[in-house]
Amino acid sequence: DARVTQTPRHKVTEMGQEVTMRCQPILGHNTVFWYRQTMMQGLELLAYFRNRAPLDDSGMPKDRFSAEMPDATLATLKIQPSEPRDSAVYFCASVWGQGLSNYGYTFGSGTRLTVV
């Protein structure tokens, strides 16, 4: 089965440290999303790319978060400096084309981030 691969699966870090999360989308998918999930807020969109170009990052705190897609097989989400309120599960998802009506919208298993 094709899958979205995220690394690391778990990350514990101290406040103020830099955190980088990685995502390998499904080969051939040209749209990649980053979501954050907490118990209180559910799934929230942080940013997404199409054909490696950033389309929307309005959900991200710009002063500390950055998302990039250096090539078609890798998307990164970086937090610098990290804060305890960033503790959450971060999901990557990929799809071909627009996310509106596409059946092939696939999530990775997530990175569970704990900032102490």
Partner 1 sequence: KNQVEQSPQSLIILEGKNCTLQCNYTVSPFSNLRWYKQDTGRGPVSLTIMTFSENTKSNGRYTATLDADTKQSSLHITASQLSDSASYICVVSSVGGRSGGGADGLTFGKGTHLIIQP
| Chain contacts with partner 1 (rule: CB under 8 A) | 4, 31, 33, 41-45, 48, 55-56, 91, 93, 98-101, 103, 105-110, 112
Within 8 A by CB and 6+ apart from 60, the residues are 34, 46, 47, 66, 67
CB of 106 to partner 1, least distance (A): 8
- Closest C-alpha to 65, from 53, 73, 57, 75: 57
Nearer to partner 1, 31 or 82 (CB): 31
CB of 1 to partner 1, least distance (A): 11
- Closest C-alpha to 34, from 85, 11, 68: 68
Nearer to partner 1, 4 or 88 (CB): 4
Alpha helices by DSSP H, listed for the chain, are: none
CB of 81 to partner 1, least distance (A): 27
Q: Taking the mean position of all CA atoms in its chain, how far away is CA 57?
A: 11
CB of 92 to partner 1, least distance (A): 8
Nearer to partner 1, 48 or 65 (CB): 48
